Amino acid sequence: MAHRDATTRARTRTGVTAEEHLRKADRTLGAIVEEVMEEEGGPLMLEPDPAHEPDPNMPTDRYATLLRGIVSQNLSNIASRAIWFRLLGHFRGHPPTPKEIVATDPDVLHHEVGLSSAKTVSFRSLADHIESGELDLDHMDDLPDDEVVRQLSAVKGIGAWTADMFLMFHLFRPDVLPVGDLSLRHAVQHAYGFAEVPRPPQMEHVAEPWRPYRSYAAVYLWAKTHATPQV
């Protein structure tokens, strides 16, 4: 419940909820918010709803989430899920610890698990950064967004998309705009009538009125198109 309390404070620190702000700031997005809220029976949240059972196959801790994010980059959900299950199977049903990654021959991760060479390097980089103390995932809550991104991006293979997903769904930051997310860009294209998929500068321009709740805007746009975040 600690995460839910923190997110609730973020949603009301300006005196209005995210939904109230988005409806007033952007008529197009406001209509989407209204429609999704009616379909869902209430407002959407960044953090998991405690009333629903979590997916037992998906990681919940921050470290395993980053491993899963590395696996998922530039792959379909089906392909990334298959590799993730092979990874868990190789390490007796659990995500490999940093020490286990360091001790594992990279060829095993590449050929037996199915990670690309680049993602195998990313796994090792993440493990090294955690083992050295350069990356302290348990003490990120009080860091500003840009510092979280800086620390995560120091790991080879962790880019802006993975950092944005981490900020939104594991630190529950309310004002993140994942401009690199393809499904969000398609959602904006459809909602705002762009002839082509908007580029990051166009996304920034459209989203300016959504501050300080751009994370929530993204969540409603994904829900409207029944999409999931996609790099």
Tell which of 131, 158, 185 closes a domain.
Answer: 158
Predicted local distance difference test score (pLDDT) of residue 128: 97
Which pLDDT band, with edges at 50, 70 and 90, does 8 fall under?
A: very low
Q: Is residue 186 part of a domain?
A: yes
Neighbours of 211 (CB within 10 A): 13
CA dihedral 38, 41, 43, 47 (to 10 degrees): -140
Q: Can you tell me which residue has the tokens 């060829």?
A: 107
Tell which of 129, 158, 187 closes a domain.
Answer: 158
Total number of domains constituting the chain: 2
Q: Judge if 142 and 210 occupy the same domain.
A: no
Rounded to an integer, what distance in angstroms lies between the CA atom of residue 101 and that of residue 105?
8
Domain hosting 123: range is: 62-158
pLDDT tens digits, 68-121: 989 988 888 889 999 999 999 999 999 999 999 999 999 999 999 999 999 999
Q: Is residue 230 part of a domain?
A: no
Rounded to an integer, what distance in angstroms lies between the CA atom of residue 209 and that of residue 206?
7
Q: Judge if 146 and 185 occupy the same domain.
A: no
User: Tokens in use for 189?
Assistant: 């294209």
pTM, 2 dp: 0.85
CATH, residue 199: 1.10.1670.40
Q: Judge if 29 and 105 occupy the same domain.
A: no
pLDDT tens digits, 117-127: 999 999 999 99
Neighbours of 135 (CB within 10 A): 22
Q: Judge if 24 and 85 occupy the same domain.
A: no
